[in-house]
Amino acid sequence: VKHSGMRSFLVVLPASLVAGDIYLHAPRGSNNKLNEVSNNAQNQARLFDSQNNAAGGYQVGDNCDPVCSNANGQYDANTPGAGEGQMYYYEGSLLHIDWTIQHGCGSGQGNVKCNVVLQYMCEDSAPGLRDGKTTSRVPATPEGEADPQYGLHEPLSWYKDCSIRERNRGLYTADQNLGGTRNRAINTRQNPNGDRRGLECPEERDYYPYWHPTPWRDIAVLTDDLSRCGFYQSHSQNVRDYGQCCDKEYHSITNGKCIQPLNEDPNQGGPNNIGECQSANNNGLWVESGRWNTWTPRCEATPFSRDNHLGNAASAKGGGGDPMTDAPHFTWRVPGEVLNAMRAQEATCVLRIRYNISTADYDGWNGLDGSSATSDAVTSVFNGVNAKIMNNPTADFVGFSTNPEAQTAYPLKLNVNTAQFGRVFEDRSHTFKIKRLPSNNPCGIGRIHNLNVRGRRGNIVQVYPAVEYDFVPTRLEAHEGDCIHFQWTGSDANPTGNAGNGRRMTDRINVVELGSTARLGLNKPAKHGYRDVSNGVLRYTSYSSMFSDEATVRKMAYIGQDVRCVNGTCVPSLRCDDNSNDENSVNNCKELNAAPGYFDGGLVRMDRPGSFSYTSTRNNDFSNRSQKATIVVHPWKVALAIGGGAAGILFLAVCILLTRRHVERYPDKKVAKMRVVQQTLGFCDFCGRRLETSFLVRYPYTLALLGLCGMLYAIGFWMALGDSDPAPTYGHAKGFGRMLDVLCNVIFFPVLRNMTSWLRTTPVGRVLPLDATLYFHKVIGMLIAVATIGHIAMHYVRFNWQASSGSGETVVGQAIGRWTGISGHLIALCMLLMFFTAAERFRRRKWGKIGGHSIFVRVHKLWIPVLLLLWFHSRSFWHYSLFPTLLLILDKLIGRMRGKEPLTLVSAKSPAKDVLHLSFKLASGRRFKFRAGQYLFLQCPAISTTEWHPFTISSSPWERTFSVHIRSRSDMDWTHALRKVLLPEGGVKQKAMPARASLEEKYQRSQGAAMRQLPKGAAGNVPADTAIQVGGHHLYVDGPYGTASEEVFHFSVLILVAAGMGVTPFASILKTLAYQAKNDMLETPLKKVSFYWTCRDQAEFNSFKDIMEGICTDPYLGRMFDLNTYLTGELNLKSISASEKYHQFAGRPNWSRIGKKIGDEYPDDDVGVFLCGPAAIGTQLAAMCKTMNPVAVDTRSSVADRRTSRLDVHKRPRKFVFHRENF
């Protein structure tokens, strides 16, 4: 590599003369500090070349009991435990590495190009690795290397080889003087003089990946250009060997050890490439070695941060971090391969971070000022006189025109140091240990998270560019069953004048959970709740701690001040003086003065899901400094249990289904005759019959809806765990709230009449339960009521919990003291009114002037303010509501455009008691287009200007007029009022004109003389085909809208079932079928139409008797039409006359018999079963249809038959398809 074009990959960092650039905060970065009682490092050459500001870094951790000081209160490095607060991390645990940088980084940082490289080194490649006891630099001698007083990172042999080996002459050095004897690997562009810092090799420090074996293992490379990741990972020493020249004789006699041989020319460095190494003059041995045989380093984008700003940064991964709170960081899974390599239980290691930047002027990959003598990199061709950039260049860079009178050439000087155009900054941690997991590991298969502390004593000015106290990470996310290793270290050697709380010069930290809503803005700790292991009693029920027992709560809060432990045996320390207010007294346990600087809380298993905010009582000093953080424990056990249970039930159901199919197809097989199989299938049939009659499976989509609610509740609960509110019921409130977010939008879909009518014409209509829109509207309303009660109840329990926890807020203040509370109560009030007025009993009755359908309609319009309030009540509601609201508005606009069509009343009559028959035309003269079985809405402004009521069209689309039959009992407010308006005398077959005269009188009485009068003589002389006008108003129609009855034309065999007035859609359908049969226009060739009509009495039947008898005698439809009437009420047999045109029965139909008869007559045809009637009949018909739908059975008797013939399993069996009218 002597003259190679080796890229300077790692050494490209920004040109800056500011000393101080990257600072490692967690693990505790040294920046060459040890235990000096000063804000500045005393010896910046002690261990490595950081090129940082000496004020950065942290003193080594202490573990004195209780403080490392002499009688005068001064720091004493000879106190037992001084410098021994060494951190350790278990193999496989997750360690949050945290740093800050001065000059910015990230792919969006246009001012610099950068890389960050993380590595670690352990004692297997660096024997004697230690922090040391003195700030002096280790001598480069065997005696210095062995002296424990000196800090030692790289071994002496590593530095000796570097100082002998020739430098890589293919590297870019600009105009720096590296000639003459400056030809060793210790001489670099950043360090031309070869100054020694510790035993670090300057060339290896400045370049990555290095081309000789190093003692460092790679952790990660963070780059602003991810396209280079492949190169970095493939060239990592983790996965490949590198070559070095070894003294052949030494290699032989030491059984493979290597030292760098000298060059034959004493003025030249030792060989650094295979050619010179193995030349006859040098007689060296080129050895490829160094591969660590471990994972490739992770390669990720660098977190973005701006330059000239030593502080927080946005996440490198996008969305995973908060630019307001996150410093640049990386989560490292601590490896255990060094323990395997050493066959040891623990190993001492050190972590290194290098920050490499260049300006846009110098890109080590793509050239210098856009030009390059090589294909892709800046190399030695730009050195010396060929350097494109010189130190502090002076010239007319702007290009001013010449002006002799000015007597100046307008030169400008640029601040350029070519030793720093492309620069590396570095920081290292104090030493730490990697340990094996303990044999009594409480975590099981759970992960281990390290929770540590960064920062040191002092205010922001005194500690800069280090930081004040903070927990790391500030937001730790774990899962139920994971462990957290609570551990931190601090120093007793902080400068005397540094600001802080507790004993001067000392760092002390504890963990105490916050109370109330645990928002980080609050500062009062909580009274913890925990279960006493001895008697199972839950104490302090107002709050439940993230820790499982009182001992752990006390240990984290008091950090062991109350006990003294020796060799695992702990006794009361008796050192705490609760009355002491002396901040410097070691007996003042309130200030944590009796605790050492190092604390190891051990592995704590997190078994309680939730979000827990906590603080350090000593360092959290509002308006001066804040030390708070949050732990979020996500649940998975409940989800796993539910998921596993669901999977088990599904597996069992599939097994039972396959077994049933096998038994039905092969009834003579051994499996079908097994007693356990028969008993199991019999039990399943019993449960199935019970389930069929239950509310849950009235429709298969009901279970899907309930499952959706359960999933929404779980999602809301899960997401609430990330919030900073640890109230026990907070997650439940959010779970119910998430249900309401969706349900309060889904409830509109079943009542979007125009959309559902359109969907019936598409293939989607065969999948969605469009026949049950009203049912699902009611079910969703019930679910909203349940979710609302749960949401409110959980919040009120939460308010009470917060008030009892000392938040200073009353329950009432929390409930209605904020907009969310006010709007929530208004929403609940509106929903309550809508819910009660929608009840069947309320809509069907009146208590004086209260009740009735009109009140229901008016109150139900509260959905508009409810929807508006929901948009402002919940921050997330609009996410779910935007599309449904737009769809709702569109449906209403379509209804408005097609609705309010004025009508001409052709006739109004009462064919039977409590039945009103109305015939209409459109006042515009246009034809009213509809399909048989559809329905419309009527409005009569004379009764109400806001009410629209649905009625099935009872006429055929082929008739000149369209008609409706309306039930108008006295307990039906709107329809009875309409009857009284149109037929005030209760007459049968009344013309419309007397009705008009009645309306005139009605409105004159109700509205007074101001009402516009009808024309004189209108009472009996105007033709019937005239629009009814009352006070200037018409009857209006909106529609038509589709129903399930429209599907009747797709079947050749029909069973039509009507109860009472439910005959109206079938009257229209039968008239239409008769017309189609007469004109040979049937959509599906009809084979059989069986009509079953149940009535309470003969009078009810007489209202449609003429129509039915006419169809029975119709020459085109009569031969395939079968009319069956059932009178279910009290009968006077003498008053009933038999008819030969149809069948008459007393009692109720036997649907099983009827279904079997039709099925036997038409075994190969699908049968359409249509109902317009009560739910009880619907349940019976649904059961009949299920019974009549067969399963294919293998009727081949012998094995030979099965071998020679095939069962036609692809032939679809006949089906009974059930449809029920709903609107």
Q: Which residue do the tokens 């065999």 mark?
A: 1053
Going from the C-alpha of 13 to that of each of 206, 361, 423, the distances in angstroms are 10, 11, 4
- Smallest CA-to-CA distance from 592 within 499, 490, 496, 450 is with 490
Q: Please, are residues 26 and 472 in contact by the beta-carbon 8 Å criterion?
A: yes
> Across residues 1019-1043, what is the average pLDDT?
53
- Smallest CA-to-CA distance from 510 within 531, 530, 486 is with 486
> Across residues 43-56, what is the average pLDDT?
94
- Smallest CA-to-CA distance from 510 within 570, 605, 572, 591 is with 591
> Across residues 53-79, what is the average pLDDT?
94
Q: How many residues does the chain have?
A: 1223
Band (pLDDT 50/70/90 cuts) for residue 375 is very low
> pLDDT tens, 817-845?
888 889 999 999 999 988 888 887 777 66
> Across residues 621-625, what is the average pLDDT?
83
3 state DSSP class of 65 = coil
Cβ atoms within 10 Å of 241's Cβ, excluding its own: 13
Highest mean pLDDT among 263-272, 938-947, 966-975: 263-272
The DSSP element (H or E) to which 965 belongs, if any, is strand 962-967
Q: For the chain, report the end-to-end CA distance as a whole number of angstroms.
A: 86
Cβ atoms within 10 Å of 568's Cβ, excluding its own: 5
pLDDT of residue 364: 62
Going from the C-alpha of 1034 to that of each of 39, 939, 942, 1031, the distances in angstroms are 91, 9, 8, 9
State yes or no: pLDDT of 788 exceeds 90. Answer: yes
Going from the C-alpha of 687 to that of each of 664, 696, 972, the distances in angstroms are 19, 13, 41
Higher pLDDT: 408 or 486? It is: 486
Higher pLDDT: 1166 or 1024? It is: 1166
State yes or no: pLDDT of 851 exceeds 70. Answer: no
State yes or no: pLDDT of 625 exceeds 80. Answer: yes
Structure tokens at 176: 């720096």
For residue 940, give every residue at least 6 positions away whose Cβ sits within 8 Å of its Cβ, in sequence order, or none: 978, 981, 1035, 1036
> Across residues 886-915, what is the average pLDDT?
78
Q: Please, are residues 389 and 174 in contact by the beta-carbon 8 Å criterion?
A: yes
3-state helix, strand, coil in the chain (%, to 5): 30, 20, 50
- Smallest CA-to-CA distance from 608 within 793, 448, 451, 478 is with 478
What percentage of the chain carries pLDDT values higher than 70?
79
Q: Which residue do the tokens 């290095």 mark?
A: 210
Pairing assessment for the beta strands 610-615 and 628-634 based on DSSP bridges: antiparallel
Q: Please, are residues 216 and 352 in contact by the beta-carbon 8 Å criterion?
A: yes
Q: Please, are residues 173 and 187 in contact by the beta-carbon 8 Å criterion?
A: no
pLDDT of residue 317: 43
> pLDDT tens, 797-807?
888 877 775 55
Pairing assessment for the beta strands 610-615 and 1143-1146 based on DSSP bridges: unpaired
Q: Please, are residues 362 and 432 in contact by the beta-carbon 8 Å criterion?
A: no
3 state DSSP class of 727 = coil
Where residue 131 falls (left for φ over 0; alpha for ψ -120 to 50; beta otherwise) is alpha
- The 8-class DSSP code of residue 605 comes to E
For residue 1144, give every residue at least 6 positions away whose Cβ sits within 8 Å of its Cβ, in sequence order, or none: 1125, 1127, 1136, 1138
Higher pLDDT: 650 or 260? It is: 260
pLDDT of residue 826: 93
Pairing assessment for the beta strands 346-358 and 362-363 based on DSSP bridges: unpaired
In angstroms, rounded to a whole number, what is the distance separating the alpha carbons of residues 817 and 71? Answer: 57
State yes or no: pLDDT of 718 exceeds 80. Answer: no
Structure tokens at 376: 């892709």
pLDDT of residue 1013: 33
Rounded (10°) CA dihedral 318, 321, 325, 331: -120
> pLDDT tens, 1065-1079?
887 887 777 777 777
In angstroms, rounded to a whole number, what is the distance separating the alpha carbons of residues 1201 and 662? Answer: 17
Highest mean pLDDT among 469-478, 976-985, 1116-1125: 469-478
Q: Please, are residues 629 and 476 in contact by the beta-carbon 8 Å criterion?
A: yes
Structure tokens at 607: 């078994």
In angstroms, rounded to a whole number, what is the distance separating the alpha carbons of residues 888 and 104? Answer: 50
Phi and psi for 342 in degrees, rounded to 5?
Answer: -90, -10
> Across residues 1017-1031, what is the average pLDDT?
35
In angstroms, rounded to a whole number, what is the distance separating the alpha carbons of residues 971 and 845? Answer: 6
Band (pLDDT 50/70/90 cuts) for residue 1113 is low
State yes or no: pLDDT of 19 exceeds 60. Answer: no
Structure tokens at 106: 């990230």
State yes or no: pLDDT of 41 exceeds 90. Answer: yes
pLDDT of residue 27: 97
> pLDDT tens, 653-681?
888 888 888 888 888 888 888 888 888 88
Band (pLDDT 50/70/90 cuts) for residue 104 is confident
In angstroms, rounded to a whole number, what is the distance separating the alpha carbons of residues 1117 and 1086? Answer: 9
Q: Please, are residues 740 and 787 in contact by the beta-carbon 8 Å criterion?
A: yes
Higher pLDDT: 1139 or 51? It is: 51
pLDDT of residue 847: 65
In angstroms, rounded to a whole number, what is the distance separating the alpha carbons of residues 72 and 196? Answer: 37
> Across residues 306-311, what is the average pLDDT?
73
pLDDT of residue 874: 84
